[in-house]
Each structure stands twice: as structure tokens, then as C-alpha cells.
Chains A and B, each alone.
Chain A
């Protein structure tokens, strides 16, 4: 069974440009999460989809970030325009059910390393 896949694995862009990250969750997983790790800091929650609906986007840093999950399958996270402080590793995770409810785990992708120069 394929795991959570993210594309690209690494992206280097200039300040002011736009970048779109993609996440393909495990097939059949309704819950999809985006997290981000900025260098030297802990992994922080960005938002949570249940199917195509945004369930919780309280972690999104500002309106330069837009996440979508059309059709409830893969998700994209667009940063426009990118700023230097957006550099970090963006992780996607998926789970069949909500983690604490069913005692299930969230499976993580390998992450996309974004470098804004």
C-alpha cells in the first residue's frame, strides 16, 4: 500500500514567488493534515481537512497560505507571495479516523523542504 506522498521533495524559490506543494494521502483516508517545521522549532499544525472540508485551519500563519482539497483526495498548499520566514519543511499526514477517537495513528509523508531566498 502506498504511503503518504508529497511533491516536490525540495523547492527553492525567490522571495515574492509562488509555490504550490502537493500531498497525496493514503487512499481512503478522509483526514488530511498539514504541518510545518521551521528550523530550530517544533513541528506545528497548519490545518486539517475532513474529505474536502476544512475542519480546522487555526494554524495557518496568514492569508498568503491557501490550502485546498478538491474532491477530497489530494491536497495542495499554495504560498503566494513567499517570504523568507516561510522556509521550512512542510509535512502532510493522513488518517482514516480522527487520531484520538479511534486510537489510530496519523501517517506522515516525507515532507517538502521549502527554501525561500
Chain B
């Protein structure tokens, strides 16, 4: 059965710290892996990864995929209180029609 496992489930850090969020997956016929940030309500898109070893960056956030070891990491450097959110990892299902989500990592950044 296709599945996504994220770790840790929650994390509390101080402003300025760097964090690494983990996502491992098992899926038949891998297509792509996506990261979302959910602050209050709607998950908002961060990255889509399809190729191994190519880092995607957006400001202080970056992500990379390892298709051999079946995992991805999301890095956030110099964290700010505004980074506090649930970070969701998802892979596209075998049929290519839907996303399979992990439980998410709840990040709390204190000032």
C-alpha cells in the first residue's frame, strides 16, 4: 500500500534555528513528491520534486529528493515565528490522479 511517513510529528525551536523535516515514502510508480505549508486553513504549495539530487530553493526554504533511498527533506534556515505551521509531504498516487499525504510535521517557532 502506498504511504508517506513524516518525522518528527512536531518540533519546537527558537527563532534563528535551522530545522530539517523528513519525509519517507513508498509508492508504486513514483511520479512526484510535493511539500505544502498549512498555517491556519488551506495548505499552500511549496515545492514539487521529481528528480533526485536537484535542490529546489525558495528564500530560506529548500528541499531535495532522494529517489534511491525514497525520502525527501525540507530545510528551513534562520527560522522565524511566521514559519510556524504544519508542513505536509505528499506523493502522487500510482494512477496519477490524487495525492497521498503524510500526517504532517507541526513546527512551532518561538521568539
Task: Report whether B97 and A55 are in contact in the complex, using a CB–CB cutoff of 8 Å.
Answer: yes
Task: Report whether B92 and A41 are in contact in the complex, using a CB–CB cutoff of 8 Å.
Answer: no
Interface centre among A108, A109, A111 (most CB of B within 10 A): A108
Which of B10-18, B39-47, B61-69 lines the interface with chain A?
B39-47
Q: How many residues of B contact A (CB 8 A)?
A: 27
Q: How many residues of A contact B (CB 8 A)?
A: 27
A59 at the interface (CB under 8 A from B): yes
A9 to B102, CA, bound (A): 23
Chain A residue, CB-CB nearest to B50: A103
Q: Which residues of A contact B32 (CB under 8 A)?
A: 99-100, 103
A98 at the interface (CB under 8 A from B): yes
Are A4 and B104 CB-contacts (below 8 A) given A43-B88, A99-B92? no
Binary interface profile of B, 78-111, with partner A (CB < 8 Å = 1, else 0)?
0000000000101011011111111110000000
A5 to B4, CA, bound (A): 27
B103 in complex: contacting residue of A35, A41, A55, A100, CB < 8 Å: A41
